[in-house]
Amino acid sequence: MNPSKITTYFIAISITVLVGASFALGAWTNPTATAPLNNPDAPLNSGPVAQEKIGGLILGTGLVPGQNALVIPRGNLLIGNTIGRGAAPNGATFGNIEVNDIYVRGAAKWASQLRADDVCVNTTWAPNTDTTCIGELMTQTSNCGNTRAVNGTLSDTSCDAPPAPAACVASVDTCYSMVGGRCDDGYYLSGSTSCCSLDACKAYTAKKWINDKLAINYVQNDSDDTWGITQKTSFTTKYAIDDIRVRGFSDDGGYCYVYWGTGHLATTRHDGTIGVYSVNNLYYDGRASISAKDATPLTTGTGKDASLVTTGTGASASVVYAPTTYNTCPTATPFFSNDGTARLCQLNYDAGAMMTKILSFSGRTGPGTIPAGTTVTLQGAHVIGNLGDSINCSLDIQYAE
């Protein structure tokens, strides 16, 4: 064998033995007692067997605020004891802590030193919510002195009472000339052309007209030669009414009508003998004959076409209606009830103002003043003709003394 190779093998084996011996020496620790004494402690592990540690245990030294250092998903925590008391009063068998005492830094006291008045529980609140009207905000104070905002629950007629009026100074009439056919709010009609101020110290000035207590202003131009949509508006009077006045303007025919259950007052643009009927939208013209160009082969039927008779020939031919009352409006005199029913005919042309109607209860031998608490309704409708069709109604009132 080559001497140089032998030398190389020897060096390699020596290095291997030396390195191995150094590792063996580094990992070995001589025993401190005869076996099995002084064995090293078992490390903490995640196994299912309970473990006991003689020394203290410090957790969470590397955590940041907000992180949990010890989490016990199930089971109880015993401090100063090894045997628990079982279930808590609420029946829970886990999640319980048993400890001799707890120091509350916020109160600077031990839990055993705390009195009932140290930790107050809100058990009662005053005043009761039934002392304040529904929908109104109120403040309650608890037995601990805390406050909260709640809504009242009182439902009573007193809740509907208007607020107490502010102090006022009796006013002297201040008048101006009426413009546009009505007085401003807070003024009454004095004479025929002047508007004067209401008494500021009274809810109303008795026997003075309050204009436009209710008003209807409605425009409808579609569906020519038919009645437009009936319009209504109401109020419940707080005071007795002695006099009412209804007035209006329609384009074309129409009516303005006020009713209150025990009475009514109405005005119309036309007398109602002919025109479009509010019940069926048929036109009743009141004519006894029509021209040749309107001739129709019908010889029987109802309404305005009943029993048509053709007379004459050629240019002189004409169609004559047989005697029938259906050629005029079925309700020749407009009918109005005390509860909102209106039956009448009105023309589909001839726009203009209606006659102003006034009803006064003063000195009447029949039904008296409209009493407080009565619902009063203003109703209006118009016949649609050509262009610009509308209804405008106004209800004026005078309160009683």
Asked whether 372 and 235 are in contact (CB, 8 A), the reply is: no
Residue ranges with strand state E in 220-263: 231-236, 241-251, 254-259
Residue 345 pLDDT more than 70? Answer: yes
Question: Is residue 304 pLDDT above 50, yes or no?
Answer: no
Mean pLDDT on 32-37? 69
Predicted confidence at residue 201, as pLDDT, reads: 62
As a whole number of angstroms, the distance between CA 134 and CA 113 comes to 45
Global pTM?
0.46
Q: Residue 162: is the preceding peptide bond cis (ω within 30°)?
A: no
Examine the pLDDT at 144 and tell me if it is beyond 70: yes
CB atoms within 10 A of CB 259: 23
pLDDT above 70 (res 5): no
Q: How confident is the model at residue 172 (pLDDT cuts 50, 70, 90)?
A: low
> Band of the pLDDT at 366, cuts 50, 70, 90?
very low
Which phi-psi region, left, alpha or beta, contains residue 159 (left: φ > 0; alpha: ψ -120 to 50)? alpha
SS3 245: strand
Residue 143 contacts residue 122 (beta carbons within 8 Å)? yes
- Which residues lie below 8 Å from residue 272, measured CB to CB, with a gap of 6+? 329, 331, 332, 333, 334, 344, 345, 346
For residue 357, the model assigns a pLDDT of 93
pLDDT score for 228: 92
CA-based nearest residue to 99, from 113, 84, 87: 84
